[in-house]
Amino acid sequence: MRTIQLSKKEEAAVEGLVRSGTHGERRRAQGILFWQRGQTQAEAAKLLGVEERSMRKWARRFRERGVEGLRRKRRCYERPKMSDEREKRLIEVVRQSPESVGMEGNGWNCRMLSRWFADTFSMRLSDEWIRQTLLRHGLRFRRAKLKLTSPDPEYAKKKLQSMG
């Protein structure tokens, strides 16, 4: 296939992707630039170390969607990126009681936080993802320790006598 003509704006966007995109985005953008500068798709593919069919696919995606066609597509199994504002709100909420945000319970756990996050932001996050986010902020859940006490004023003395 013959070369492709890019407008100045498109060329600048593709060159920007070469400079700051992911590894794959840079490679796809370089392929488009090689093609635009007179290389055939086969030659561009060889220079980039990819199959010619990959170059044809990139060219088709570029013709159909422009620079966005060269960007990495999010896979269905990948978690969407959480904005800084939402992450900040999650950290604020974990420091409050669940009842203060309309949830039932005495304290938070990852499952409850995940449910609250989905209800609030319509964005599902796994319990493990919540746990990792909390860890990045120096927070973690610990299991409560069982502590036996008694209203008996002599309890401490009796407990020492029975243990010793």
Does 31 map to a domain? yes
Q: Is residue 48 part of a domain?
A: yes
Name the CA dihedral angle for 133, 135, 138, 139, rounded to a multiple of 10 degrees. 90
The residue that leads in pLDDT, 150 or 89, is 89
Tell me how crowded residue 120 is: count the other CB atoms within 10 A of its CB.
Answer: 14
SS3 147: coil
| 31-90 pLDDT, tens digit each | 999 988 888 889 999 999 999 999 999 989 998 988 888 887 766 555 567 888 999 999
Contact of 29 with 21, CB cutoff 8 Å: yes
Reduce the DSSP state of residue 41 to 3 states and report it: helix
**118-149 pLDDT tens trace:** 899 888 888 888 988 999 999 988 877 777 77
Domain range for 99 is 84-136
Q: Identity (one letter) of the amino acid at 104?
A: E
Output the pLDDT for position 116. Answer: 93
Question: Which of 37, 17, 32, 42 lies closest to 63 in space, CA to CA?
Answer: 32
Residues 56 and 104 occupy one common structural domain: no
Please indicate, yes or no, if residue 65 is contained in any of the structural domains. Answer: yes
Does 113 fall in a domain? yes
